[in-house]
């Protein structure tokens, strides 16, 4: 299911080194989850979107410019990779 990407002012910037990072790693690196094992759970239940699309692959390779959102509604948190 596709959802609109949040407004730019609501997106926190997260700088990555190298060419990219896997989704599960990013969730922990960006402090969207407390412990790495949570990544599997939040991804499996459809709580994570990449560029507005629900993503179910923890190993999804992300690149600069991608927007990752955890949750929905007012409590959702979004980060943009730079």
Question: Domain limits of the chain?
Answer: 8-81
Length of the chain: 82
CA distance 72 to 69: 8
pLDDT at 77 over 60: yes
> pLDDT tens-digit profile of 16-69?
998 899 999 999 999 999 998 999 999 999 999 999 999 999 999 999 999 999
CATH no., domain 8-81: 3.10.290.10
- Give me 59's structure tokens: 């190993």
This prediction's pTM = 0.87
Strands (E), 10-59: 11-14, 21-22, 48-50, 53-54
Q: Which of 65, 23, 64, 82 is nearest to 47 (CA)?
A: 23
CA distance 22 to 10: 22
- In which residue are the tokens 């499996």 written? 44
């Amino acid at each position: 299911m596709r959802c609109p990407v949040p407004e730019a002012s609501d997106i926190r910037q997260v700088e990555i080194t190298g060419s990219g990072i896997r989704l599960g790693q990013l969730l922990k690196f960006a402090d969207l989850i407390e412990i790495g094992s949570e990544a599997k759970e939040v991804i499996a239940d459809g709580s994570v979107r990449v560029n507005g699309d629900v993503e179910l692959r923890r190993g999804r390779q992300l690149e600069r410019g991608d927007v990752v959102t955890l949750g929905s509604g007012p409590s959702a948190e979004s980060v943009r990779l730079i």
